[in-house]
Amino acid sequence: MKNHFSQEMASLKKNIQQMAELVDAQLEFAIRAMQTGNMELCKFVRSRDREIDAYDNLIQAQCENILALFQPVAGDLRFVITALMINNQLERCGDIAVNIVQRVQKTIDNRPLLEEIGLQQLGEEARGMARDAIEAFINNDLELAEVIRKRDDQVDDHCRSIFDTLITKMQAQPDWVEPGAHFIVLSRHLERLADHATNIAEDVIFLIEARIVAHQGD
């Protein structure tokens, strides 16, 4: 029974790490597609979304089976709970990657404006947070997880600045209305990506220290 439990836990850890690596790659391709307007990358990201969904279902089923069959305690229980939470965040990050590439075709003619309004930088910031959150989980890096939480406010401030800039331009120039609307939606996707990265970082802190930090300071 003990060997079976160890095997199931090892399989769960392997699957969630593989899902994290897949999501990390999806986000990298999505941000690159946004910056370059590469439609082939967009198709590639969309085509791999089903693989992320399959991992989501597999990991959820594994967690439920482990809880039902083995009734883990202490650190093992905390890992299974964390795996469920991080699995959910990773699946949403995968959805955001798809949402980003869906906006690429709608903004491809206005792509030079991305840098002007700061969307390229916002994309790098949000992508960096997601990458580091995944790294913090894989490496059990408490210090990195704490740093990620602090970076979320910077992304929120940047997103608000972009929104204000776009509203001003849309009011002054009617030609900005359509691309501006798409850029606002795109900035919201990036802001949500940073939020999910923060949630993963908070889950890592819970895993390592059994400490709940979500919503503190809100």
For 68-126, what is each residue's pLDDT tens digit?
988 888 889 999 999 999 999 999 999 999 999 999 888 888 888 888 899 989 999 99
At residue 217, does pLDDT exceed 60? no
Residue 23 covered by a domain: yes
Three-class SS of residue 114? Answer: helix
Report the predicted TM-score, pTM, of the whole model to 2 decimal places. Answer: 0.91
pLDDT of residue 72: 85
Residue 128 covered by a domain: yes
Please give the structure tokens belonging to residue 11. Answer: 């399989």
Please give the structure tokens belonging to residue 205. Answer: 């802190």
Convert 151-169 to b/e letters by CB count within 10 Å (16 or more is b): bbeebeebbeebbebbeeb
pLDDT of residue 35: 87
Residue 18 covered by a domain: yes
State how far the alpha carbon of 103 is from the alpha carbons of 17, 97, 194, 210, in Å.
Answer: 28, 10, 18, 39
Domain with 185, as residue range(s), is 2-209
pLDDT of residue 105: 83
Q: Mean of the pLDDT values across residues 179-187?
A: 93
At residue 22, does pLDDT exceed 90? yes
Nearest Cα to Cα of residue 122 among 88, 160, 65: 160
Residue 140 covered by a domain: yes
Nearest Cα to Cα of residue 164 among 184, 186, 178, 182: 184
At 43-74, the pLDDT tens digits run 999 999 999 999 999 999 999 999 998 888 88
At 112-158, the pLDDT tens digits run 888 889 998 999 999 999 999 999 998 999 999 999 998 999 999 99
Domain harbouring 185, CATH code: 1.20.58.220
Residue 217 covered by a domain: no
pLDDT of residue 112: 81
What's the domain count of the chain? 1
At residue 188, does pLDDT exceed 80? yes
Residue 152 covered by a domain: yes
Residue 12 covered by a domain: yes
Q: Residue 217 in contact with residue 153, Cβ under 8 Å?
A: no
At residue 218, does pLDDT exceed 60? no
* Cα gap 207→144, rounded to integer Å: 14
Residue 215 covered by a domain: no
Place of tokens 């408490």: 142
